[in-house]
Amino acid sequence: MHIKIDDLTGHQVVSLVNEHLHSMTLMSPPESIHALGLEKLRGPGITFWSAWEGDELAGCGALKELDTRHGEIKSMRTSVSHLRKGVAKQVLQHIIEEAEKRGYERLSLETGSKASFEPARKLYESFDFQYCKPFADYVEDPNSVFMTKEL
């Protein structure tokens, strides 16, 4: 698998990000959706990676700098045709390694609390992320859980 920084202009990447946003609307009420659209993912302080198997997009993930010591994982998504092949694990490992290179002391994330998000929560737990209180601009929300990892 080849993981590279992406400018979010390729049609496969645009489709995957839009699929991610659409699936969030099916699983969470509007006020509880924290996924970023294409323009925000292209914004300052965010690095977006795409993961490829040959010329097929396998998945993606992003890292948002909250401050010089704290990053947030955003937009983790695996293409449907690559589910259960370890794509998310490899993308997450890549993001953690990048956060360490940047000198971050903490890496945090928000994900859903419903059963449909259980695979994501299990993945983060397997990388020693711990449940925590809301961070940055997040507030308590029954549809969200917050996790963090000391680096």
One DSSP character per residue, 36-55 reads: --HHHHTSTTEEEEEEEETT
So what's the pLDDT on residue 143?
Answer: 94
Q: What is the mean predicted confidence (pLDDT) over 123-143? A: 97
pLDDT value of position 39: 94
The CATH number given to whatever domain includes residue 128 is 3.40.630.30
Task: Please provide the average confidence, as pLDDT, over all residues in the chain.
Answer: 95
Side-by-side strand order, sheet with 130-132:
2-5, 46-53, 56-67, 70-78, 106-112, 144-150, 130-132
- Segment 21-34 shows an average pLDDT of 84
Beta-carbon count within 10 A of 78 CB: 25
Residue given tokens 């990447």 in the structure block: 13
Question: Can you give the pTM of this predicted structure?
Answer: 0.94
Domain that holds residue 90: 2-150
Indicate the number of domains in the chain: 1
Report strand pairing: 106-112 vs 2-5.
Answer: unpaired
State residue 150 phi and psi, 5-degree precision: -75, 135
Specify the pLDDT at position 122.
97
Is residue 108 within 8 A of residue 131, CB to CB? The reply is no
d(CA 113, CA 121): 9
Token pair, residue 25, equals 């609307």
Residue 135, classed as helix, strand or coil, is coil
- Is residue 26 over pLDDT 80? no
The DSSP H or E segment spanning 90 is helix 87-101
DSSP 117: G
